[in-house]
């Protein structure tokens, strides 16, 4: 008989995660995507030991950023949630959970609402919440869509009621520093992203296809957002843009502790805080070593500065996406990296040395989507409505982009999409397509079952 945990109301304060007094010191371990797999549990158990050792046991707490299960082991299922709860209980410390995109892909559920209800039943906590950590507050926000996403089923979507709740929390406590935790980062935060995966599929940013600027708008209105943690990309902490700052807010990428990393590093984040400020650290799960990455006072009006050792940074110019792109040259073709092509006031196209034509949002300087792959020997032509080359300096008259082969032949034409931009939808909602295919196959099977069948020369119904 299954015992049901009583979940708190959404937006509740997690008393177990909270400290008793504003003057308390505390430690908070932040775990990125787990993707738990039975064959890797020695790695996960050792990583848990590293974090418990790095925290003062009396004041230790844990937040996990979602994506609990492995694709080979029924991610998003009730069994997956129960396995993850068993693992988190093993810390012996208070913890808070949020959902990532893979947490709502359980095959046994027919809707996102049903899947989310099972998650809340297993963990017995709300899917968005707050907790008091000494002088600071930590809040967690969760995705609520997978099957019902407009395009990519892996887009991390936080609905308006959670945004309204977050802003109300920030407004009600203007002098309290906030730590925000989401599975994916907000568009415009400046964190490293994998353009050939998450930008191409338009699932990189929170609400990537539905008002993604809303999150940074909130940050702009509330200077008490001091730290924002996210996972999703499976990237380590060893890039110059693994930590980025916008205003006085630091955005922090969180790595993974299992084998699903993209660059050979297994890491988690750790914050040590008190009423004056915090230290941000990396815990290395190969060695258990702890590294200081940043520290700041809560009341500091300037941007915090990362202090990652130079010899640990990953920036190999020949490593493709492994090379951080934040410091690369920008200019004309002679720069060897990016050529900018204006296409109006909202977006701009960037032809990059990795053969990608990426569309950027002008307001946030963030990549929006992939337009096309353009080999080095190809040329671009921006065309106006009359078929002639676009003439306006701002590119507002561009209606299509033509890509020509080296011999001058037209290779591809890209026109503006329904939103007025040029990016393409490379990943439609595969769950919805799968359901449509099942329905079509069932219809064919039903029709076949009603047809007369020949048996030794005679027909039977």
Q: What is the per-residue pLDDT across 185-214, written as a single tens digit (0 to 9) for each?
A: 999 999 999 899 999 999 999 999 999 999
Backbone angles phi, psi at 83, to 5 degrees: -65, -45
Polymer length in residues for the chain: 461
Domain ranges of the chain: 15-312, 333-447
Cβ atoms of residues 360 and 347 within 8 Å: yes
Q: 269: which 2 tokens?
A: 């984040």
Cβ atoms of residues 258 and 245 within 8 Å: no
pLDDT (0 to 100) of residue 87? 98
Q: What is the pLDDT of residues 80-97, one digit of tens each?
A: 999 999 999 999 999 999
Please list, in sequence order, all residues whose beta carbon lies within 8 angstroms of the beta carbon of residue 300, skipping any fewer than 6 positions away. 248, 277
| CA–CA gap between residue 188 and residue 364 (Å, rounded) | 5
pLDDT (0 to 100) of residue 452? 63
Residue 326 has pLDDT above 60, yes or no: no
| CA–CA gap between residue 452 and residue 377 (Å, rounded) | 60
Banded model confidence at residue 58, pLDDT cuts 50, 70, 90: low
The DSSP secondary-structure symbol of 196 reads I
Banded model confidence at residue 255, pLDDT cuts 50, 70, 90: very high
Banded model confidence at residue 301, pLDDT cuts 50, 70, 90: very high
Instruction: Give me the residue label for tokens 């790695």.
Output: 43
Banded model confidence at residue 57, pLDDT cuts 50, 70, 90: low
> Which whole number is the average pLDDT over 392-408?
96
Is 115 in a helix, a strand, or coil? helix
pLDDT (0 to 100) of residue 436? 83
pLDDT (0 to 100) of residue 460? 35
Residue 250 has pLDDT above 60, yes or no: yes
May I ask the CATH architecture of the domain 15-312? 4-Layer Sandwich (3.60)
Please list, in sequence order, all residues whose beta carbon lies within 8 angstroms of the beta carbon of residue 128, skipping any fewer than 6 positions away. 10, 11, 98, 139, 140, 141, 142, 162, 165
| CA–CA gap between residue 342 and residue 398 (Å, rounded) | 9
Is 109 in a helix, a strand, or coil? coil
Cβ atoms of residues 54 and 283 within 8 Å: yes
> 333 or 51, which is more confident?
51
| CA–CA gap between residue 294 and residue 289 (Å, rounded) | 16
pLDDT (0 to 100) of residue 52? 96
Q: 227: which 2 tokens?
A: 């730290």
Long-range contacts of 326-330 (CB under 8 A, 24+ apart): 326/190, 326/192, 326/240, 326/241, 326/244, 327/240
Range in 151-155, 281-285, 386-390, 451-455 with the lowest mean pLDDT: 451-455
pLDDT (0 to 100) of residue 458? 38
| Average per-residue pLDDT for the chain | 90
Nearest to 415 by CA among 351, 366, 372, 363: 372
| CA–CA gap between residue 433 and residue 453 (Å, rounded) | 32
pLDDT (0 to 100) of residue 93? 96
Give the residues across from 283 on adjacent strands. Answer: 268, 290
Long-range contacts of 348-352 (CB under 8 A, 24+ apart): 348/395, 349/401, 349/422, 351/380
Banded model confidence at residue 314, pLDDT cuts 50, 70, 90: confident
The DSSP secondary-structure symbol of 166 reads H
Cβ atoms of residues 140 and 26 within 8 Å: no
CA angle, residues 222, 226, 232, in degrees to nearest 5: 105
| Alpha-carbon dihedral sign for residues 82, 88, 94, 95 | negative
Q: What is the pLDDT of residues 358-398, one digit of tens each?
A: 999 999 999 999 999 999 999 999 999 999 999 999 999 99
pLDDT (0 to 100) of residue 336? 53
């Amino acid at each position: 008989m299954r015992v049901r945990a009583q979940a708190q109301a959404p937006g509740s304060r997690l008393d177990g995660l909270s400290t008793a007094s504003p003057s308390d010191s505390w430690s908070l371990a932040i775990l990125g995507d787990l993707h738990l797999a039975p064959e890797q549990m020695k790695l996960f158990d050792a990583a848990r030991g590293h974090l418990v050792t790095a925290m003062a046991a009396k004041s230790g707490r844990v937040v996990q950023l979602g994506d609990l299960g492995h694709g080979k082991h029924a991610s998003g299922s009730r069994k997956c949630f129960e396995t993850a709860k068993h693992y988190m209980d093993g810390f012996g410390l208070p913890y808070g959970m949020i959902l990532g995109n893979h947490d709502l892909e359980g095959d046994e559920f027919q809707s996102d609402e049903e899947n989310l209800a099972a998650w809340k039943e297993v963990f017995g906590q709300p899917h968005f919440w707050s907790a008091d950590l000494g002088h600071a507050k930590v809040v967690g926000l969760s995705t609520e869509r997978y099957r019902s996403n407009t395009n990519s089923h892996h887009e991390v979507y936080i609905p308006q009621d959670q945004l309204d709740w977050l802003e109300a929390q920030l407004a009600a406590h203007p002098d309290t520093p906030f730590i925000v935790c989401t599975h994916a980062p907000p568009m415009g935060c400046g964190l490293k992203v994998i353009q050939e995966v998450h930008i191409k599929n338009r699932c990189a940013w929170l609400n990537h296809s539905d008002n993604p600027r809303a999150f940074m708008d909130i940050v702009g209105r509330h200077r008490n957002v001091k730290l924002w943690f996210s996972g999703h990309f499976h990237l380590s902490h060893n890039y110059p843009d693994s930590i980025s700052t916008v205003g006085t807010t630091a955005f922090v990428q969180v790595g993974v502790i299992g084998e699903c990393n993209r660059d050979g590093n297994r890491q988690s984040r750790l914050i040590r805080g008190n009423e004056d400020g915090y230290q941000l650290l990396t815990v290395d799960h190969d060695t258990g070593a702890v590294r200081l990455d940043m520290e700041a006072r809560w009341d500091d009006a300037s941007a915090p500065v990362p202090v990652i050792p130079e010899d640990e940074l990953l920036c190999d110019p020949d490593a493709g996406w492994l090379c951080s792109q934040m410091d690369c040259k920008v200019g004309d073709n002679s720069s060897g990296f990016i050529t900018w092509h204006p296409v109006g006031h909202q977006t701009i196209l960037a032809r990059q040395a990795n053969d990608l034509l990426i569309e950027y949002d002008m307001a946030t300087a963030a990549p929006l989507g992939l337009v096309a792959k353009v080999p080095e020997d190809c040329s671009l032509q921006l065309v106006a409505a009359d078929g002639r080359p676009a003439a306006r300096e701002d590119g507002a008259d561009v209606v299509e982009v033509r890509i020509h082969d080296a011999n001058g032949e037209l290779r591809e034409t890209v026109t503006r999409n329904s939103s007025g931009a040029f990016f393409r939808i490379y990943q439609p909602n595969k769950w919805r397509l799968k359901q449509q295919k099942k329905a079509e196959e069932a219809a064919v099977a039903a029709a076949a079952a009603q047809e007369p069948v020949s048996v030794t020369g005679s027909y039977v119904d």
